[in-house]
Amino acid sequence: MKHLKDYDMKTLHKWKDGEVRTTELHFYQAFLINKLDLADTRAYDFAKGVEQLHLALSRCDWGNLSKLAKAYPGICTLVNDFARLEELKIQTNSKGEEYK
């Protein structure tokens, strides 16, 4: 969440030719490019990978999600940052608390 601080979630990515492209995952791609300074050529692939990870974690029951969150610290933070920008489900534990 600290990376998202003061980031305008509705800012779209303006390409070098001046065109604003609104392809899928455009909010997260814009964040990667504009805020984290990730190369344009890597942003879509990374965003697509995080999208797939978000989808896989969203399909987990609480027990499996808990195991993955313990084995890979930060995994839920990554997908929750993605979810906030793309307005998707936030990963929470059985008490409804957000995974960190």
pLDDT higher at 20 or 70: 70
Q: Is 87 left (phi over 0), alpha (psi -120 to 50) or beta?
A: left
Asked if residues 24 and 52 have their Cβ atoms less than 8 Å apart, the reply is no
Q: What is the chain's mean pLDDT, rounded?
A: 76
Asked if residues 28 and 82 have their Cβ atoms less than 8 Å apart, the reply is yes
Mean pLDDT, residues 27-31 = 85
* DSSP count for the chain of H helices, then E strands: 4, 0
User: Rounded to the nearest 5 degrees, what angle is found at the Cα of 63, between the Cα atoms of 62 and 69?
Assistant: 85
Residue pLDDT, tens place only, 71-100: 999 998 899 888 888 777 677 766 777 766
Domain boundaries, the chain: 6-86
